[in-house]
Every structure is written in C-alpha cells, then in structure tokens.
Amino acid sequence: MNWFLVVEIFTTLAEFLIAYIFFKEFLGQKRRSIGLSSVCAVLYVVIILGISRLFPIGVIGTLSPIIVLILLPYLFGKNVKLNSIASVLLIIFMMLSDLITINAMSWIAGVRIHYIVTEEFFLAIGFIISKLFLLLIIKMVLSFRKKDNVHLSFQYWIALLVIPPISAISIFVIFYLNYLADASTLIHLSFISMVGLLYVNILVFQLFEFFLKKHKMEMEKAESAAREKLLMQQVEIQNAHAKNLEFSQKITKEFRHDFKNTLIGLYGLIENNQNEEAIKSISSTLDLDSINKDYVFTENGSIDAIFNDKLRRAESLGIKASHTIMIPANLALESYDISVIFGNSLDNAIEACERITTGEKCIKITLMYQDEKRNLVYQIINSTDGKVVKGNKFYNSSKACDGVHGLGLENIEKAVNKYKGILETEHKNNIFELTIVLNI
C-alpha cells in the first residue's frame, strides 16, 4: 500500500473523530453505539477518499465532503437549524485549519504554496498538522461555549492548549529534516510516529474532558451535600426558635401568675429590713429573663432565629460578640439565602474564634438597610489565629476541610450574585473582615 494513502486514511479517520467529538459536544446529545459510530467512520473514510480519487477536480469532488459533513450531525438529532449551524461551523473550522497549515508551512519552509499542495511529502505533513490545528480550534470553541464548565486556572488552559501547536512544530521539523536528508526509511518511520502523535493529542483532550466531567460531578455532589446541610441547619434553627418562643411564653405566663406573690414577698423582706434577702430574690427573678435570652428582635423570623442561635453559641464559647442591626421587618430575601449568607458567615466567624488559643476572641456584626440606595449592607469582623491562606478568590483557613465547609464562601457568593450584590473579604493583623452589599 502506498505510504501516502496510509496517511490519507489515518488523517481522514482522525478528521471523522474530531467531527464526531464536535457534533456530540456542540449538539449536547448522548454518545451513539460503538458499532454505529464505527460503521459511520468507515463510510466517512471510504466516501471522502473514494470521491476524491474518482473526481479529483470538479464540483463533485469539492461538494462531496461538504454534503457528508452536513449529513453527519443527524446521527445526534433531528434539529435542522442547530445541525446546520454545527455543520457550517465545522466546515469553516476545517478551512481555517487548512489555511493556517498551508501558509505556516510555506513561510517556514520558504517554498510556494503551490509546491506545498502538489508535493505529496509536504501534503502528507499538512494533513497531519491541519488536524492538530482543527482539534485545537474545536476544543477552544467548545470550552467557551460551555458556560457551566468547571473553572480552571489560566495556567492549566495554557498547558493544555499548547500541546497541538508543539506537536505540529515537532511534526514539521522531523519531516523536513528527513526530507532534506533524503532518507526514505526514516521518512516512513516518521510518518508512523506523527500519526501516533495525532492520536495522542486526541486522546489527551478526551481524557481531559473525562476528568473535567468527573471533577464537575464531584463538585455538584459536594454542593448538593452543602445545600442539604444548610437546609437541615435552617430547619433545626427554626425548630429551636419555635421551642424558645414556646418556652418564653410559658415562663412569661408563670412569671405573671407569680408576680403578685413575688411582690408581696419582697415587700415583707424590705419592711423587715432584710435587704440582702430582697436583693437575692430580685436577682433570682431577673434570671428568668436570661434563661432564654434573645439578642436580636427585628420581626423577621428567619433573621432573628439565625442571629440569636449563633450569638447564643458564641456567648457559650466565651466569644465577645457585639451587633448593630437596623432593618425593616420585610426584606426581599429568600429564607434559604438568609440561611446561606448569615448562617455560613456567622459559623465561619465563630469557628475562626474557636481556633484562637491566645488573645481576644471577638465578633462585631453590622446589618443596616439603606432606604435611599435600597441596599442591605452586612459586615462581620472577627479575630483569627492568623493562619489564613489567600486562595484563588477567597481566604481559606488552615482547618482541615471535609469537602463541604470549604464551599461556605462560594455558596455565599452565589447567593449574593442572585441579588446583583458585592462580596469583599480582607484579612489583616489577625482580623478578618467580610462585607456584603445586596440590592433589594
């Protein structure tokens, strides 16, 4: 078999695989059976190469690959409009990759374009390099199209996207050196190596796609667990708030029932100059109010429940907590978002104070509504042990993460974004500051 035909077969097969990947991802359809895909791959190679051999010049030879690419998307769905858009895009990308390859080879080798497209040696190199550029273009387009893709740092994308260009340069250098040396044996081996390089590039991108999807599933699972945990906390807090209200009402009712008798007893103690006993009785009576101490009362049940629960916990842990809260009773905040924003931030502040072994443990809370700007401004300042690391977007504590706690600030940010708000964090001199502004 002619070596050039072998290269044509492998590069045409690679072209089908790249087209298959593009249509599957762009059209958002499930993968077809391996048997059907294999049959389509063979038919694609036979049709493309067969027609190019029978009609090397003319309308039929030019239009046949275009017709095949227009029909190929219907393996994944029957949406004519979307399939047509996908076909046109792929044809444009193929033409673009061919043009980039031809012009780059002409410039690097210092030969005319006519020589590139007529000389089998350069044509074979061009087939392989153009497929690498096509793969690069398609992966870049698909990555931008996926709005819900997992966020990756710029360095990772650069490391991935330089693989095809480096492979293309390597292919050209190896083949051109062999061409100049006129070593036919080495040229054949080089073609095998370059076909292998093309396969490796496709495999790398597919493996990358697989691990990206796996990572995304793990993140979604962790977020789901975090959401479930927050919902459970919200239910527990609401239940605790309801029990506290019930207990307060019971205590108040009992206190009112015994109030007259208590006053009679106090009157008798004072009349007999038993002042110390009277003071003890008064102190005991006042303790009834502190049994179920409420720190916050805004007439907003969800906010009251969250803040009172967290402030009680802070007090029990020996944390000095101060608060200034001035908000209307009715806020256009969903109950779940109240739990996410305030519950998470207060938990983080309390846990940061818990980790302090020496020094003052304190939390300062400010929650104000600005009528003129229709903004809700929330600020929480807490002391830390100083062991805070700046991540990509937020500060991370040194505490071991169970996979859910680390999503706290990310979940807060998502809730803030729902209200087109602002979230800012700052850590300086062992003081952490979180500021949130919501447009409500």
DSSP line for 28-67:
T-PPPPHHHHHHHHHHHHHHHHHHHHH-SSSHHHHHHHHH
**CA dihedral in degrees (401, 405, 410, 415; nearest 10)?**
180
- Considering only CA atoms, which of 167, 165, 170 is closest in space to residue 137? 165
pLDDT digits (tens, 9 = 90+) for 71-100: 877 777 777 877 887 788 788 778 777 777
Same domain, 321 and 177: no
When pLDDT is cut at 50, 70 and 90, the band that residue 25 belongs to is confident
Task: Look at residue 163 in the predicted model and tell me its pLDDT.
Answer: 73
If asked whether residues 304 and 196 sit together in one domain, one would say no
3-state secondary structure at position 387: coil
Check which CATH number belongs to the domain holding 430 and give it: 3.30.565.10
Of 225, 248, 273, which marks where a domain is finished?
225
Beta partners for 326?
A: 368
- Residue 72 belongs to a domain: yes
pLDDT higher than threshold 90 for residue 349: yes
| Number of domain units in the chain | 2
Helices (H), 272-334: 275-291, 301-316
- 251 in a domain, yes or no? no
Q: Which pLDDT tens digit goes with each residue over 243-255?
A: 666 666 666 666 6
What does the pLDDT read at residue 404? 37
CA dist 65 → 37, 48, 71, 371 (Å): 18, 6, 10, 65
Domain range enclosing 186: 3-225
pLDDT at 378 over 70: yes
